[in-house]
Chain A
Amino acid sequence: MKLIVNGQALETTARTLSELMAELGHAGNWFATAVNSEFVPGSERERARLSEGDRVEILTPRQGG
């Protein structure tokens, strides 16, 4: 399945958002996720099934003004 993750095409076997996070090695409580512009809380990533072409955003803390 092909996804767009943080703006870049990614081929993955992950079926859910939590599987995708594990595949990318993103462990920790400083990640925030959204699928197709909708916020997905960490507690719902296991239930968040992914579909071909989904746009996934994975954000973390950064400097800001």
Chain B
Amino acid sequence: MPLTVYGTELSSRLLLGTAQYPSPAILAEAVKASGAGVVTVSLRREGLDGGSGGGFWSLIRQLGVRVLPNTAGCHTVKEAVTTARMAREVFGTNWIKLEVIGHHDTLQPDVFGLVEAARILADDGFAVFPYTTEDLVVGERLIEAGCEVLMPWCAPIGSAKGPVNIDALRAYRAHFADTPLIVDAGLGRPSHAAAVMELGFDGVLLNTAVAKAGDPVMMAAAFAQAVEAGCGAFEAGPLEPRDMAVPSTPIIGKAVFS
């Protein structure tokens, strides 16, 4: 069954970032190979990095995917809210991946500012996708603020560590049984994506693991397969681990030779 967020059915459970690719052409090919229906984008100062915002926007529009603008790099509620409002105008969407960064080294969210900004933006008509931790109470506050989806990290952004706290993610899934949950940040390998999907998460959002791979296009396709495999495994009902062996071959009918 497809994932639905804010009343919109997504064509894939893999959401892909658009940063750090070797070239625009490889970015475009990676998006196609991933099958992602949603890609994340940002706003930056025009004219300072030598790039053209208009050219990048034209490339993304040609891909025919939905965009999820972010507030990456914002460290205050004011910065995030202003950036979100600017993004809504330029990208023509009320979707916003809300980041309020709280720590320079770990890039972990300032969850207090995050909840405050989420409330302001939800009241202003935004569909807020909050980048958060796996803290249950913060998740509850975000839902109270108006969020209809939660995006907990599984490890620091760009770390490629994969899920470092499986028990917390499992508890998160169990606690927010009726809320779409997308693991955002920290995934390094397709097996990581499969692992969180097997826990029952509804989707994954990743960027660096694909963009910085030796072959981003091939890695995008590999992640797509992993997400599909993990989702299928969860829906199929995986076995719970057991401490003792259980023979798979029937004992009844075994020959006796002594």
A residues contacting B by CB (< 8 A) are 6-7, 26, 28-34, 37-39, 41-42, 57-65
A-B contact count (CB 8 A): 104
User: Nearest CB to that of A42 among chain B residues?
Assistant: B89
Cα separation A62 to B91 with both chains bound (whole Å): 11
User: Nearest CB to that of B185 among chain A residues?
Assistant: A65
Q: How far is the CB of A20 from chain B (nearest CB, A)?
A: 12
**In this complex, which of A29, A42, A60 has the most chain B Cβ atoms within 10 angstroms of its Cβ?**
A60
For window 175-222 of B, CB contacts with A under 8 Å fall at 207-208
User: Nearest CB to that of A31 among chain B residues?
Assistant: B46
Pairwise interchain contact B60-A37, C-beta atoms closer than 8 A: no
Q: A61-B54, A63-B19 given. 18 additional CB < 8 A pairs?
A: A28-B54, A37-B78, A58-B45, A59-B83, A60-B46, A61-B43, A61-B56, A61-B60, A61-B91, A62-B42, A62-B51, A62-B53, A63-B20, A63-B41, A63-B56, A64-B19, A64-B69, A64-B72
Pairwise interchain contact A32-B44, C-beta atoms closer than 8 A: no
Pairwise interchain contact B41-A62, C-beta atoms closer than 8 A: yes
Contacts A32-B87, A32-B89, A32-B90 given; indicate if A62 touches B157 (C-beta within 8 A): no
B residues contacting A by CB (< 8 A) are 17-21, 27, 40-49, 51-54, 56-57, 60, 69-70, 72, 78-79, 82-83, 85-87, 89-91, 157-158, 207-208
Contacts A41-B89, A42-B89 given; indicate if A60 touches B207 (C-beta within 8 A): no
A-B residue pairs in contact (CB < 8 Å), sample of 30: A6-B46, A26-B46, A30-B53, A30-B57, A31-B90, A32-B89, A33-B86, A37-B79, A57-B45, A58-B45, A58-B46, A59-B44, A59-B53, A60-B43, A60-B44, A61-B41, A61-B42, A61-B56, A62-B44, A62-B51, A63-B41, A63-B56, A64-B19, A64-B40, A64-B42, A65-B17, A65-B20, A65-B70, A65-B157, A65-B158
Cα separation A61 to B42 with both chains bound (whole Å): 6
Cα separation A37 to B79 with both chains bound (whole Å): 7
Residues of chain A within 8 A (CB-CB) of B27 are: 63
Residues of chain A within 8 A (CB-CB) of B78 are: 37
Cα separation A34 to B21 with both chains bound (whole Å): 29
**In this complex, which of B51, B53, B69 has the most chain A Cβ atoms within 10 angstroms of its Cβ?**
B53
Cα separation A41 to B208 with both chains bound (whole Å): 32
